[in-house]
Structure 1
Amino acid sequence: MKRLIGSTVLALSLLGATAISALAQDTLKIGYVDPLSGGGASIGQIGMNQLNFITDEINAKGGVNGKKVEIVGYDNQTNPQISLVQVQKAIDEGIKVIVQGNGSSVAVAVSDFITKYNDRNPGANIVHLNYAAIDPVLTNEKCSYWHFTWDASAAIKMEALTNFIKDKKDVKKVYLISQDYSFGHAVAGAAKSMLQAKRPDVEIVGDEFHPLVKITDFAPYVAKIKASGADTVITGNWGQDLALLIKAAGQAGLDVDWYTFYAGGAGGPTAIKQANLADRVFQINEGINNQGYGPAEERAGALMKRFANAPVYYPRMFNMMDMVFQAMTEAKSEDPGDFVPKLEGMKHNSFAAGAEGFLRADDHQFFQPLYISTLGPLDAGQKFDEEHTGWGWKMAAEIPTESTLLPTTCEMKRP
């Protein structure tokens, strides 16, 4: 009798394990390794929300190759060392697709780790989908076959920004301030060299770096900017480092124009409105709400209805996941070894305006139209405000895809 019971328990255990295994095989799990706590959590959670929204969309259509898609979050606290622990944890749990973006130092560490892992484990490939880390090294000297990026690099964005600035004769004294890590230094370096080439008359009156997501009071930095006599600030800051910087500038009555990459992030629009900087804070990105493109407005509206207190901060994330799901469908496989070749050279109509972009095979950089915009009171006909401020982004300039095509020094090692 005991033997019969033991056999029955064993059989049920094996049946349960088989059912769990079958369930796992029917689920495509994607690891999201980004800040979900600490100073970067506000933008990390926005990314998580957007990924969940996108996967719910695809699951409603039957999933990918018949499999339900699930996003699994791994909190990296914007720390490269913690990130690698989390990536290894994801790999140990059977995940082959890693999404990461915030923090170029993190992205470089993750890309290097995944590339070495794939070299050591042929056939057990992992891919790194980067939606926000834009240090140019990632698509130049540190490029990898297993890394793809959907955000324009710091060099591409600064090229467009300085082309815009060069025709503004009121720009005479520029103060540079960014976070003290690889991306911040890339922004400052590109700004200095490009301004020197295009507007040698412009004086750089400050070149400041500060710790990443650790400053809570930017008043001392704003005092330096004010004392410098600057009329313009260029910053690569993102997340709380941008919002708190703008807030401090408003409190100090700093009278300058701002050129940014990430003013649309969590807290940014609110800080701009509170500082009363209507149409004085410029950002460059791949699209804004109120661009008038119906499919994007419908999708953005649904996202904002679900997550009412978060902006559509990552239009490029729609591009990224739509393209990856298409590549998996074409390859009839969710294995990176099978679907990565489908991504190379893929063309895709960008989310924001429907204009065509493409993924360059040489360095795995996605090229798309870019837009320079300013935040101010809503114009007639605009549907979306930002963070319930009553202010929205307005187009200041459009940069077509062909004008963003900077060369690459990538010498990609292919499997």
Structure 2
Amino acid sequence: MNKTIKMLTTAIPLAAALAAPGAMADVVKVAYIDTMSGAFAPIGQNLFNSYQYNAELANKQKLAGNHTIEFVAFDNKGSPQESLNQLKNVINQGIRYIAQGNGSGVALALVDAINKHNERNPGKEIVYFNNSAIDPDLTNSKCSFWHFRFDANSDMKMEALTTYLAKDQSVKKVYIIGQNYAHGHQFTRAAKEYLARKRPDIEIVGDDLHPIALVKDFSPYVAKIKASGADTVLTGNWGSDLALLIKSGRESDLKANFYTYYAATTGVPTAMGAAGADRVKSVGNWNVNNDTFVGKEIVEGFKKKYKDDFYTTQTHSVVHFLSKAIKESKSTDPVKVAFALEGMKMKGLGGDMEMRKSDHQMQQPIYITTWTKTNKTDVRYDQENTGYGWKTNQKIDSFVASQPTSCQMKRPSAADL
């Protein structure tokens, strides 16, 4: 009799655990597959630290209930092929979530591989959080139920940027320069289309695409920009390609204004210094120098811990949306979490956010900012100890930059839940 009772008491908690796997406290690992070596390594390391820092804060606040979130780095060397190799390592280690953002070419390769893996391996699905790869195709023709983009895509950013630029009647001649890969091509296309629609009087005086992460001296490109008579440069460059372009422009005394997507990323603020003051503008999802300095605690804490700048709000968004999805679905299972993420709304650092169900493209406000000397009023926080930071020119509501989608989402059946 005692033996029977003992067996029953052992079986009850085991049965409960099997019936409700999400009820147990899990460590939810997210594989960060990105550039941890090479020319873009400083940005990759900054993003990884940003993920870790936000996960630590979320875990302390128990945003995912009793579950904890942990990020693990896998170096893809900026290569789509190496990213696929690392994805195999991630799968072999049993990790069910990945994050990536540096390079739309990488993102497109990962989406395709994850789609195939999930189709062939029911019960072992992987969900992909995209923090920065902004090729519009990722939430249009290449959209996937397993992919969620937390950054505004290239067309959304261009809509916001050209809406602001179009009001400046001093802009007469524009030079477009970008990196020769998926994002660079989309940037160039959108710039031409949107300027033609909003300011047909503006002359496009140059259009260059250069090899990504290979150009060490941008002076020949800057010479072409100067010779064109451009008063404004539009560039989707990021990382060392943007830092070196800005540096060369400074050294060549280029007077043109720069409109950028990524001037706040590692290395670029130092390259700009005082020479970029009031001449370089950037578009993003948030700026700490906002009306009420929302996010200042994260900026200050990150700086204290890593001696670096927190500038990618998407890492904060990924952690908070994932935590909420785990809590609301009462599960750490990727399929259930993915369904919970669809249509989810939350107030983020930049304002009201919504993960649009139709294409998994985050809808959020966009900020236009200008590189400016710090002060004690509206530009309190600098970058890279330069004494210069970003002044908020305009907060553009999400509906202004929002774009239609051609996505035809294929979802798992209800039986998979």
TM-score normalised by L of structure 1: 0.91
Shift of 1:379: 2.5
- Would you say the 8 A contact 1:244–1:271 is kept in 2? yes
Tell me the distance in 2 between the aligned counterparts of 1:226 and 1:410: 41
Partner of residue 103, structure 2:
103
Tell me the distance in 2 between the aligned counterparts of 1:67 and 1:55: 11
Alignment deviations for residues 362-398 of structure 1 (CA, whole Å, 9 cap, x no partner): 0000111111000111122343111100011001111
Partner of residue 400, structure 2:
403
Shift of 1:26: 4.2
Verify: 1:317 aligned to 2:320, yes or no: no
Shift of 1:269: 1.1
Tell me the distance in 2 between the aligned counterparts of 1:405 and 1:232: 25
Shift of 1:282: 0.5
Partner of residue 141, structure 1:
141
Which of the numbers 353, 356, 362 marks the counterpart of 1:357?
Answer: 353
Partner of residue 11, structure 2:
none
Alignment deviations for residues 124-172 of structure 1 (CA, whole Å, 9 cap, x no partner): 1100100000000000000000000010010011011111111211111
Matches within 5 A, 1:189-208: 189-208=189-208
Matches within 5 A, 1:40-59: 40-59=40-59
Shift of 1:25: 8.1
Shift of 1:198: 1.3
Tell me the distance in 1 between the aligned counterparts of 2:85 and 2:64: 28
Verify: 1:380 aligned to 2:388, yes or no: no
DSSP-derived class of the 2:311 partner: coil
Verify: 1:217 aligned to 2:217, yes or no: yes
Which of the numbers 406, 411, 415 marks the counterpart of 1:414?
Answer: 411
- Would you say the 8 A contact 1:319–1:348 is kept in 2? no
| Structure 1 moving runs of 4+ over 3 Å | 61-65, 292-295
Count of residue correspondences = 388
- Would you say the 8 A contact 1:226–1:254 is kept in 2? yes
Tell me the distance in 1 between the aligned counterparts of 2:29 and 2:278: 42
- The sequence identity of aligned pairs, in percent, is 44
Verify: 1:115 aligned to 2:115, yes or no: yes
TM-score normalised by L of structure 2: 0.90
Verify: 1:390 aligned to 2:406, yes or no: no
Which of the numbers 330, 338, 353 marks the counterpart of 1:340?
Answer: 338
Partner of residue 330, structure 1:
328
Q: Cα RMSD over matched residues?
A: 1.5
Alignment deviations for residues 163-209 of structure 1 (CA, whole Å, 9 cap, x no partner): 11112111111110000001000000000011111111111111100
Shift of 1:359: 0.7
- Would you say the 8 A contact 2:25–2:68 is kept in 1? no
Partner of residue 260, structure 1:
260
Verify: 1:238 aligned to 2:238, yes or no: yes
Equivalent AA in structure 2 for residue 403 of structure 1: V
Equivalent AA in structure 2 for residue 370 of structure 1: I
- Would you say the 8 A contact 1:65–1:333 is kept in 2? no
Partner of residue 31, structure 2:
31
Equivalent AA in structure 1 for residue 409 of structure 2: M
Equivalent AA in structure 2 for residue 312 of structure 1: F
- Would you say the 8 A contact 1:63–1:69 is kept in 2? no
Structure 2 residue runs of 5 or longer lacking an equivalent are 1-23, 413-417
Shift of 1:70: 2.1
- Would you say the 8 A contact 1:316–1:351 is kept in 2? no
Equivalent AA in structure 1 for residue 389 of structure 2: G
Alignment deviations for residues 54-96 of structure 1 (CA, whole Å, 9 cap, x no partner): 1211232357442333211000011100001101101110100
DSSP-derived class of the 1:279 partner: coil
